[in-house]
Chain A
């Protein structure tokens, strides 16, 4: 994990995600063949559904947006070796906060209404993540378990809200009252759902990059992530960092949920996230936890999500195929990042060098 952000020193660091993606695609082609589907047609349908026309393209960008927010949430937490598996719950709480505050903002100036909704979401997510940071710092509790538990509590809280206190008056369907028009995001080009929140995501990615790699706090976080004992020895307050880093991570995910309510759904439904908080782990790992690359990585996975709908329509393949891709990419990437693989690669590299410079093959072979 520690080598993740060292892309400058390791020229292969950026190639490995591509290798992992290629290997995952190859494996999936085999699975599809075994199931009697045509991999070529399935991949063509995926591409068509993701980039084939204006609607597909805008849908890809819309589906990428929450992944940028949750991907950044994961990048911040994982940089400090804080294994936040709870971005999904933090996103849900962010959406819940936005959906609860939004209907009360009728008559407010629109920029202010939007800002309040988004800030509510960020605060909700920050609390949800911060609790897990606090449990880790003050109760020696693994954030892994607590964030997973918080995901399920968040899901039930949302379900209760849309069946109970926030349910719209007609009560025919579990959904909440719509947020006030003054709290709804501006749209660039209706009927497409392109909206300024995408620029916000882009800006936050840059902000997170400068924060992680150019600020003292970011340096402390990464130092803890790389070597906890050494960082603590040099005076980095591990407990305090765990709390604010988990809160920041939660705030980013919560903002993603709020943006979804503010710009896309305008109200709460029982299911607000199709698993963006888990998908974000794939997004962040493929981007090597580098916020600048997370945008590209999110667009890739967003394209898969968008294309999978078309693939289901034309090829009859379940859209959860994209989760096979996500899972495989993470597993393969983990394996490629291990020292065992590096040694293998080095010995190949030395063998190649040796044969290129005309030395005896035996010398390269015994590496």
Chain B
């Protein structure tokens, strides 16, 4: 029971954490990517489609990253080079992704009725750790993407907090005009952050279809990208905070399954709403501005 709950928590937390780490980089550079849900969805679908038609898990993961990077590149052209409104552009990408993946899915699989399934990513047991009671299988016998997600946490923490590059990235998000005046190249930094975030969103989507569900249903992301946005806020733009918040929200989502199985009096919708409600409480308590990058979401154009 407990190990099933832990396993479910990790499965729920992994795609959220991957996407949130990418969103952290983007927000540090001063951009808010509402389109992250769409990038994940595109990654989920095209990753599965590639794995299915080419029979290769590796190609599937590459395709997932490629699709999400393409989505973020569209966003980069609009919000970095053309300085359009980030929120509206991101929302449009979310709508577009639901439409595109739905249409492709129906054309490819709707008529044939073939099952759109692939074999699940193999689980890698980490030696004797995997044999530990209760925590062994949920924590130490998972797909490579789970280990990757948590391994990236210190990497992002180091890059953003301890390197010269991270300093530049944060400068682009705190005061882009000053950063440009210093010759840091705000446009390039923001492009790089969006591309890196595309890779991570693609991996998040790939996890959903290649390691978790092993199939695709329309709108399979079901708001996980928006939970990732929430995780960045609740985790206070700190990679370690993001990992904790992802696990917390993952646990809330996992509880839902457990409760339905147990048939408790508590409505399962309560737990589905929890990540969003908790984020609102955090926003109301701490406010939005304390740890957020100063220029977050402001259109910035070099010419003006």
Contacts and interface: CB of A to CB of B under 8 A. Distances in A.
In the complex, the 7 A-B pairs of residues with the closest C-beta atoms, listed nearest first: A327-B96, A323-B99, A320-B102, A324-B99, A318-B106, A330-B92, A156-B273
Interface in B97-111: 97-100, 102-107, 110-111
A323 B92 CA distance: 9
A164 interface: yes
B78 A152 contact: no
B218 interface: yes
Interface stretch (A29-37, A240-248, A257-265): A29-37
A328 interface: yes
A327 B95 CA distance: 5
14 contacts: A135-B284, A149-B230, A152-B275, A156-B269, A275-B95, A316-B110, A320-B106, A323-B96, A325-B99, A328-B96, A330-B91, A334-B82, A334-B88, A334-B92
B89 interface: yes
Given A320-B103, A331-B96, A340 B82 contact: yes
B289 A140 contact: yes
B218 A320 contact: yes
B276 A83 contact: no
Contacts of B287: 139-141
A28 B223 CA distance: 26
Interface of B: 32, 34, 74, 78, 81-85, 87-89, 91-100, 102-107, 110-111, 218, 223, 226, 229-230, 233, 267, 269-270, 272-273, 275-277, 279-280, 283-284, 287-289, 296-297, 301, 303
A18 interface: no
A323 B81 CA distance: 25
A101 interface: no
A325 B34 CA distance: 19
A49 B66 CA distance: 36
Interface string A322-338: 11111110110011011
A152 to B, nearest CB: 4
Contacts of A323: 95-96, 98-99, 102
Contacts of B303: 339
Nearest to A84: B87
Nearest to B219: A320
A160 B89 CA distance: 32
Contact of A163 (B93, B267, B275): B267
A341 B275 CA distance: 40
B137 to A, nearest CB: 30
A1 interface: yes
A323 B99 CA distance: 5
B35 to A, nearest CB: 10
Nearest to B87: A83
